[in-house]
Structures are given as C-alpha cells and as structure tokens.
Chain A
C-alpha cells in the first residue's frame, strides 16, 4: 500500500504569558492509501493541533512547530512555501471541521463557497464551477442541490451545513481527508447519515481518512487504525480490532470502559478519575500516572517509551496491561 502521509516527531508549542504550552510532543503518524486512521483522545490532548499541523495550518507565530519528517503523497512538504502549501490544500488534502455553522462564511452562499474550490484548483469559470458544485452536493446527499446552493449557511439545517462542508472537502477528490470531529455538533440520526456519506465517498474514491474524534462508537464504525493520544503524546497505536479487544494502555482501557452501553446493568457510569493535566503543568514521568490505578514509582519518574507489543501494536506504558478479562473490570 502506498503511503500517503508520513509524519515524524511533530512538536508544537505555544509560548504564552504563564509559560509554555506543549500542545504536541513528538507525534508520529502514518497513513496509507485508502486507510482510515482515527486519532482519539479527550479534549485538549492535541488532536486538532496535530491534524492542522499536517496541513501546516498552525499560525507561526504564535505557535512554534518542529518536526523531523512531513511527507505527503511521496513529496517532502516540510519546507514547502506558503504558496506551495496553498496549491496542495483543498486539492490534495482537505479538511472537514466540527462546527459547520461557524466554519462557513455567514455572508456568502453555500454554493459560492464550494465554487471557490473549483475556481481555485481547477481554474474553471464561475458558471462551470456551479455545475460541479451541484454535482458535488448531489453526491453528499443534499436534497434539491440547485436551490440549496443559493442558500446562506444560516438558512440550512445542521446536517445540511455539514454536507456542504463534506461537498467542499471532497470537491477536488483529494488524497487525504482530515475530519476534525465531523459529527460532534450533530444529533445522532444525522451523525449516522454524515458518517455514511464520509465513509462511502472515501471508499469509492480510495481516499485516506484521518478522523479526529473522542467518540469511540464512531471509531469502531469507520477506522482501520487507531491512535490514542493523551496530553500531547501518542499512548497507543493499534488496529481497530486490537484497540477494542486487546487494549494495553490503562488510558485506552478507561476510554473504552467509559462508553455507556445499553446492556449495562450497573447504575454508575464508568469513568477515568481526574482530568487531563493542564498543558502548562504536566506531571513528571508518565503524564497519565496521577489518574492511573496501576501507577508505580517508575511511572512517576520516567516517561515510558513507545514499545511494540504485537504486530502493528505499540503502547507507551511501563506496565502494559496484558489480559483484558482479568483486569478489565478492575
């Protein structure tokens, strides 16, 4: 399989008044053609910063970004100029954002905002662009695409707005789609529709997908590979089956256990105690140790390295949990 994205040792820090915010600390990402990769973690763990860094959308200043390798589609785009990046963005890699209401320009019709993609990247006239736009809206399941294209974002429902973003992202049939919590702002029935469109389009055109989410049910439906992120670091990477059946990291296990199930007979929700450490006050050693029931002295002292525990399965833990059945309910 051809590798679409290769990211090595991404570090992003934001200098601020109180100190330095280390948003991302050495993240590696690999995405192959046609693959769906999920990046999972709680709010504030650096998922969005990572994804935006891939498109080099993080403004610097204020942010300071360092990375060893950024290869996209076989090209080294690490040192691409702004102009070169502008040619790639939207055309070869595109992004779907979380809140379609704020992610669309309120004073421009939805159609025009999609037209821009074709005008910019295909060099077609406004008229031709609109025909493409209507076709794209049809593909993402927008009812009455021709008249909807003339609507402003506030005149559409949340699901329709998200479809506009989808149509925009798929406009130039890019190699890589980055979806940053694409369904978080939608209600459940619409979520399923939007995810179906996303998945079908991706499979049909053999695109790669980087899905940023904190919703594990979405992950189990869509992803092939899962990266679990905690406080700026990848803590576990595995295939989706392994993540759900054989999670090694206590954090991954906690995340899975905290998904409410209808079959649960217990009254209490399972949860991970504590909160994500403040990005300026990260603990010594393993960042997760204050919330980990299995933490030892070693965990307080040293950050564990990412170790391989199986085929394509890596975990950042001094004491990876071996057996789900024995300790799963602990």
Chain B
C-alpha cells in the first residue's frame, strides 16, 4: 500500500486507526529517582501503514516499541488496539492479543532460543495461539520459511548454523507465522552487514504488501526509515519532537533536532545541502540530563534557535498541516525563515 493510498483511506474515514496511542508514559525506578523513558507519546497508526521511529541511542525508541506491545507496562496513557486498551489488559487476555501483534528484535542471535530448531521456534506461536498443530503446522512453517526466502530444509537447523541475515529472516518468519496485524520492528537491521540490510528491508516491505502488515519500524538509520516508512516520528529524550510524512522529511521538517539529524546523514541522495553552519557546533555538545528540568523543551540546551521560553515551558505537539505535527515553540518563525 502506498502512502497516498493510506492517506486516502484515512481521509475517506472508512478505516479507524488500527493502533492509537494516547499520552503513553513509561517510567523506570520510583520516587525521586524516577526516569521517564517515554513521556506522553501519542500517535495513530492506520492499517497497512509504516511508522518509522527515529532518534539517537537512549531516546526511548525501543522502550516505546516494547511499551506498545506491553512487554514493558506503561505507567500512564492508553494503547488502543483492535478496540481494546492494551494497557489495561493482563494475563490470558493480553496473551490472546499477542496473536495479532508481534515483534522483530534487533539481534536474532539473542532472541531466538539456541536450543530450539528453527522449525520448533516457528511452530511455537502456532501452538501457543492454538492455530495449528502437526502436519498443518509443518505446512504453515514451510510456507512461512519460503516467504522469507529460506528453504524448508532450514526447519531442522539450529540458530547457530545460520548467518546473521538468514537468522534475521528466521526471526521475521517467527514474528509473522501467526499472521499478526501489527509488527514492531526494533532496529531489525542494526546487527546486520550493510549489504544484508537492504535485503532485509526489501523483504520487510515485500511482506508488508503480501500480508497487509502494519509496522512500527524503530531505527536510528534515517536512510532506511525514509525508504520504508510512510510517516516518521522523531523522538528526543522520550518525547515526540516531530511527526511527518517521510516524503516531506527533507523539505518540510521544522524541528531543529530533525534538521540536525538530516544534516548528519552522509547520504548523497539527501536533498538537504550540507553547508557549513557554525551554529551546528553546539549541537554536538553532550546534552544535559533533562531529568533535572522537566519543564521546558529537552532540546533547548543543544538548540541553536533556543529562546528564554524554551527553557521554561514544554512545547506542545502542534499540528502544522494535515499529518505533520511538531513540538517546538518557534516552528512558525522557523517555517517563515525557511520559506524566505
């Protein structure tokens, strides 16, 4: 499904969002040492859409993905999926919902059980959700292995007998074998060689078309996210900095952090010109820990456009136009500057 088709579907209103996250907050620790890994994140995801989540290490991307799937329980907010608030579900009900939502982990070597053959690993979701057993399960497993580009011979092998790329294909097969609707991909290419990354990314988009999947694609690689995602969510220290359609990324991105990210991409295809900007030098400085100043924009210490109010008031996530939202006090002025 193309981005245009998604927008059309959204505009015509015949599909409700598959996933709707409202003010989700994830906290670690308790009392005064509480750390907010994800701070009031809200977004909606249409069926068949891919949301790219991007940000630097430790900005809460992975936590966000895990919290959506309730592998970490959010401390506040709603996660509406198939009409149920996942954050309020527990036990067997939540396990039942996992039939429809799955995860692809960053490192297949650590997420696949080294003692299980690939066939056993792929049969497990079928058994757990009571989908199939015996010969039927074998047939489904073989079909799935073929769909990810492996042969049925892989069924009897152990994970250590595969290369990294093949293993990530196994992990993808495991996530998709129960035919979920929502798949959270947590940096599925980060542990792979560059040559294999492209194969896996292409496989993911091929499978999306074939099975009508909805992805949350977490990555720190802007190039891959632009290629795969319909919309991109830029995160900074647990907050959403900007959400915008990926084709608008280079042209319309307004948040200073998004601009900094774009200027850091060493991709000749990127339309942003890398002109020497002395102001960007401050962006490289180590950020202050924002736990100390919860009010105000977290990006303010590194921001070249910061004003006094940036340090005292948290910028709300404002909708600029259609599907583009930004959390910056000065986005209007910055937009005017860019237009001029």
A and B, one complex? Answer: no
Which residues of B line the A interface, CB within 8 A? none
Residues of A within 8 A of B (CB): none
